[in-house]
Structure 1
Amino acid sequence: MRPPSVNVGLEPKFRLEPKEQPMQVDIRDKVIVVTGAGRGLGRSLALGLAAEGARVAVVARDEQKAVSTVEEIVAQVPGAPKPLAVVADVSDEAQVQAAAEAVDTHWGRVDGLINNAGWMPPANSMSVLGFELAELRRVIDSNLVSCFLTTKHFAPVMIRGGGGRIVYVSSIAAEHGGAGRSGYGATKAAVNNYSNVVHKELANQGIRTIALAPGLTDTPGMREAAGEEHIARVSALYPDGRVGQPEDIVPFAAFLCSDAANHLSGTVLTIRPFTG
């Protein structure tokens, strides 16, 4: 039987016309709030977003660390819009409300919110049978309650300005919880769910949400919680022989806060090498 002939002269059913302008990840002059920005991933996010021209509100519980991040941005990113240091414990509603009012007063709008603040308990400190209730409450407040509160108080400012982007920093632990850290993975799974709920409730008011789930990332908090040996063991599993660095996450955060990501909402974006 002869194969069917193909008429290469036929016009294609669909034709992709080139856009007038190439896609750009542009966050210049966008007001972006980064929580937990006093060190680690939050500090790198604040620096990286400022380098792309964003107006960054540096939120941290420790005033000295918030100011230090602001000073580092000013020193390392000449010409960047001057960032704003905001001191707040994002698990405390009164402080979150005050933080939202401070940013609103300073810039008059909020275009992006990155919920990065969180806490990972030390290795093997939260076993299923051996956890302390106070520690469980701390991880829930730090990782989950903070997201509820910042969304409650920053989203109205965003909606008033026509909408914006909310990024919830999650973790691959949401799907692959680690033994001895029962509370951490559970809170990150809840963060993923909450991001989807916010999308369903607020999308019609211009709010786009995403849960950003990195793999193991080499931060001071991770080293304190996991230890050098664990980081080395996981590094050996990855094709390039290293775990993620905070700087690896910054381009994804910039994209998610830009207009280029307007059609992406209510889902989880995982960032880690494939290990087979």
Structure 2
Amino acid sequence: MIGGPSVAAVTHPLDISDRIVMVTGAARGIGRAVAVGLADLGARVVVLTRNAATAEEVAGEITRRRGAGRALAVVADVTDEEQVAAAVARVDAHWGRLDGLINNAGAMVTGRPVLDMDAAEFRSLLETNLVSAFLVTRHAAPLMIRGGGGRIVYMSSKGAVQSLAGASAYGASKAGMNILSNVVHQELADQGIRTVAVAPGLTDTPGMREVAGADHIARVAATYPGGRVGQPEDLVGLCAYLCSDAGTHLSGTFVMMRP
């Protein structure tokens, strides 16, 4: 007999083709790089930002690179529960499922000693970094569970475990995100939800440049591989792995990319 039995196509465990992944805070920096990078690797990406123009801009970039139907621009303030619920409902109406969530939205604030910070400022950063991740998880996870499960990545920080003077609110918010990630794993793993908190290390983003001085950046860069701080694109490969079948057994833990 010439030839043999046909062999069904085997999907590579790292393949994320047509996975539906929502990236919060996708306007710039890590969020934008991850949104565009995951789309380049075949995912369909929900570009979630607070501003309609930037959401459309990033979605438009993905469309130019990957073609129509690869991105959905969604506008929401992730500290507002009604807006978060509406954003998830729009994803459901458009694609009918959600396979991955990158909880990236947040702010970096340092140089504020405890005795110089008022309660409103402390609460504001907790809302921006931690409460937002809770709200998006709370509304997105049921859609993921309905489709059989999915991956939630929490963009944490080295400051969650090795915080610095002047970063009480920032460090507390990121440490809380690590605990949130672990608790969601404990509560939802049996429903197919996998969680990982990721600490990128010092990464060259507009937000980082707004709070870190050149001397500090240079000192940190000297300790990193290649003598440079991280670039937003460095997060794409890890997020793609976590959203793929290859990362299924990694859950409830914290990954620090640099010491």
Q: Into which bin does the TM-score normalised by the smaller protein fall?
A: over 0.9
Counterpart for residue 88 of structure 2: 100
Larger Rg: 1
Instruction: Return the alpha-carbon distance in structure 2 between the equivalents of residues 22 and 112 of structure 1.
Output: 18
Post-superposition shift, 1:22? 9.3
1:86 paired to 2:74: yes
Instruction: Return the alpha-carbon distance in structure 2 between the equivalents of residues 22 and 207 of structure 1.
Output: 21
Counterpart for residue 7 of structure 1: none
1:144 paired to 2:144: no
Structural RMSD (CA): 1.6
Post-superposition shift, 1:139? 0.8
Cα distance change, pair 79–68 in 1 and its aligned pair in 2 (3 A)? closer
1:180 aligned residue (156, 166, 170) = 166
Counterpart for residue 69 of structure 1: 58
Cα-to-partner distance string for 1:88-140 (whole Å, 9 max, x where unaligned): 0101100000000000100000000000000111x41x212111222211210
Letter in 1 for 2:255: L
Instruction: Return the alpha-carbon distance in structure 1 between the equivalents of residues 67 and 62 of structure 2.
Output: 10
Counterpart for residue 128 of structure 1: 114
Secondary structure (helix, strand or coil) at the match of 2:77 reads: coil
Cα-to-partner distance string for 1:176-222 (whole Å, 9 max, x where unaligned): 10111111011111100110000000001110000011110110011
Instruction: Return the alpha-carbon distance in structure 2 between the equivalents of residues 133 and 63 of structure 1.
Output: 31
1:222 paired to 2:212: no
Letter in 2 for 1:251: G
Secondary structure (helix, strand or coil) at the match of 2:194 reads: strand
Most deviating of 181-190 and 80-89? 80-89
Cα distance change, pair 239–43 in 1 and its aligned pair in 2 (3 A)? closer
Q: Displaced runs of 4+ in structure 1, greater than 6 A?
A: none
Instruction: Return the alpha-carbon distance in structure 2 between the equivalents of residues 48 and 239 of structure 1.
Output: 22
> Which structure 2 residues correspond to residues 21-60 of structure 1 after superposition, within 5 A?
24-60=13-49
Instruction: Return the alpha-carbon distance in structure 2 between the equivalents of residues 246 and 239 of structure 1.
Output: 15
TM-score norm. by structure 2 comes to 0.93
Instruction: Return the alpha-carbon distance in structure 1 between the equivalents of residues 22 and 230 of structure 2.
Output: 23
- Specify every segment of 5 or more residues in structure 1 that has no aligned partner in the other structure, as ranges: 1-20
1:159 paired to 2:145: yes
1:201 paired to 2:187: yes
Secondary structure (helix, strand or coil) at the match of 2:48 reads: strand
Letter in 2 for 1:250: V
Instruction: Return the alpha-carbon distance in structure 2 between the equivalents of residues 57 and 267 of structure 1.
Output: 25
CA contact under 8 A between 1:50 and 1:81: conserved in structure 2?
no
Instruction: State the identity %.
Output: 60
- Specify every segment of 5 or more residues in structure 2 that has no aligned partner in the other structure, as ranges: 1-9
Secondary structure (helix, strand or coil) at the match of 1:240 reads: helix
